[in-house]
Amino acid sequence: MVKKSINLISLILLLVFSGCVPGNEIDVFVGFDSSSPCLYFLSRVEGDSGLHRVCNNEPPEKIVLLDGIQMYDLALEARKVVYSQILENGESSISIADASGDAIQEIVNCGTDRCESLAITPDGSTVYYSRYGRNNGLFAINPDTKEIKTISESLPDLVDLSPNGQYLRFHETDSGLLRVISTETLDLFLSFPADTDLVGGWLPDSTGFLVGERNVDGQILISEYMEIDVLSQTQQQVFILPKGVEFFRPIYADKEQIFVLARSGVRNNSREIQLIMQTGEIVSTITNASAYDHSTLQWNPVDKQLAFQRYDITRSDSVPEIMLWQENTSSETLVAQNAVLPQWLY
């Protein structure tokens, strides 16, 4: 592998599908066994809108039944859920609850500003969030003391944490810079230009993450993906893509295999899911449905299940759906219709 200094380019925003169409019922996958993690998601079904989860062989359980929930995140160790919502008076707030939706507590009210991107540390001790409006920026709040710290005065369009909660990663819209800081000391480790739709997942051990680089060769193409090492501040080339192929938002299945959203051709709006080796060799094609665009990959390493979101781009009345792929059977199952943002709680 070739090591070189970090020099990535451009800014292209990630498209997130959502919707709300009256009359759509939730169809349930009932294949979880009693030891499985729970799959959370936001339902957009009218009259049933809010945060739901599927555990074991039960129908979806309503965790927080509110129309105005915009985003959420889960604390794996603390078994907490944090979510942002638009209140009836038009104001925006962030609340925290336990994993079953009990003990709900509002931790910050953003007024007429919008509380948006959310990330909670695994132990639940800190919630990171963005504000959009009169007081733009990225902030951190302690849910117990309500103490707020300013992380950045720039509005981020991507905010997440390393699996162990040691690093905070965020992308600034005005500068186009992707930054990585220590959650303990707030020291800056990395800062470089990056496209949000090419920023991939973290390594399972939290030492690094994937980032793609676009080059112009007649048309805009992704030429290669790099594995960024946080401590050494270097990058290693992982794989180079053939002409005309683009990969988006890759995530690690393990240290050697990666799930990617693959698109062939610049005029093709459909992204299919593939499992590849770090060398770029295709292990398997997970989806093969050109009528759908796929997004929001979420891997369950315990039971080898991939949850993802899809949207029928050929229909004007289409709603987003959450699907589940089982590695042992290579089968796809519908989890929920008119639903978005799947996330696992192990």
Q: What is the pLDDT of residues 170-229, one digit of tens each?
A: 999 999 999 999 999 999 999 999 999 889 999 999 999 999 887 765 555 556 889 999
Residues 6+ apart with CB under 8 A from 235: 3, 4, 5, 6, 211, 226, 227, 228, 229
Question: Range of 181's domain?
Answer: 3-345
pLDDT tens per residue, range 246-268:
788 899 999 899 999 998 765 66
Task: Give me the pLDDT at residue 265, please.
Answer: 64
pLDDT at 121 over 60: yes
Q: What pLDDT band is residue 25 in, cutting at 50, 70 and 90?
A: very low
Identify the weakest region by mean pLDDT among 16-25, 51-60, 287-296: 16-25
Instruction: Name residue 272's amino acid.
Output: E
CATH number at residue 8: 2.120.10.30
Distance in angstroms (rounded) separating the CA atoms of residues 346 and 299: 11
Residues 6+ apart with CB under 8 A from 323: 307, 308, 309, 310, 332, 333, 334, 335
pLDDT at 142 over 80: yes
pLDDT at 16 over 70: no
**Which of these, 11, 197, 158, lies nearest to 73 by C-alpha position?**
158
**Which of these, 84, 73, 70, 59, lies nearest to 20 by C-alpha position?**
70
Task: Give me the pLDDT at residue 255, please.
Answer: 87
Number of domains in the chain: 1
pTM: 0.86
